[in-house]
Amino acid sequence: MGYFKGKTVIITGAGSGIGRALAVEMAKSGARLALTDIRLERTLELSKELGKTGIEVQCYQVDHSDWAQVKNFGQKFLEEWGKVDVLCLNAGVGIGGRIEQAKIKDWKWTIDNNLWNVIYMLNLFLPEMVSKREGQILITASGGGLIGIPGMTLYCTSKFALVGMAEALRAELSKYKIKLSVLCPGIINTRIIQDGEIFSGDGQGVEIKSKVSDFYQRFGAEPSKVARDALRGLRWNQGIISSPRVHNLPWILKRISPSFYQYIAGLIWRKEWLV
């Protein structure tokens, strides 16, 4: 319990999935929690559960793609809490489909919710961390930020940007003794498919969202596993936290032979094995 005990932790997108699991694990570690989600009822339900442990929990409804809402949250948080010790930037959305069917609105929705949301939060809280030369940041990206996945071009674009941001920031912030890690989960059994967007169908035009959701439920790892790996990675100051490790195989293949990975990914898509 020692490492996070008494620390003030913000977790964005804490209403479900990995964000919820991070909150549960942080609570077990004795942290003080400020939880945000676009769906307030989800965090309120969670806070009732966590409140039984005796830890301090406060919930905020925030659409992290909206700068005005994020700025209002930041001002309110600093008034009520004073400072943040650990910033878990977990909010995000899932999106997939054939690139020829993607519209500008799909690109904007993806970038706003997966990239700009992190930029907004860093803009608010990073200056104070730098001035005090303390703090820790966890950015939730994705395994899709390490390898390009056909059918997920919009999603991978946003997540690759987060991994690149994290890599550069980690080096830059080391000067100020601020630790930064990027979490890259694989296939996880969360609500990312149900709450996300899929603008594609199979070759016969059949909607595949239910099929993908069923796949994630059947084969996805539990969010609690990812959360435990994330907290362990934070304690060890690990740069890239990939979880679960069995999902590292495509990333390892890409690192060994990028061209072979590209061939396999293209073959899978051409054969329509993913749809």
Task: Divide the 275 residues of the chain into consecutive groups of 10 and give the mean pLDDT of each group.
Answer: 91 96 96 97 94 91 98 96 96 92 95 98 97 97 95 96 98 97 88 69 54 68 92 97 87 93 89 63
Rounded Cα distance between 112 and 74, Å, is: 18
Residues identified as active-site: 155
Helices 104-111 and 153-173 pack at an angle, to 10 degrees, of 30
The CB density around residue 228, as the number of other CB atoms within 10 Å, is: 17
- Domain 8-270 falls in which CATH fold? Rossmann fold (3.40.50)
Element (H, E) at 95: strand 95-96
**CA distances to 34, 64, 99 from 103, in Å:** 35, 22, 9
Query: Which pLDDT score is estimated for 42?
Result: 95
Q: Which two tokens stand for residue 89?
A: 């930037």
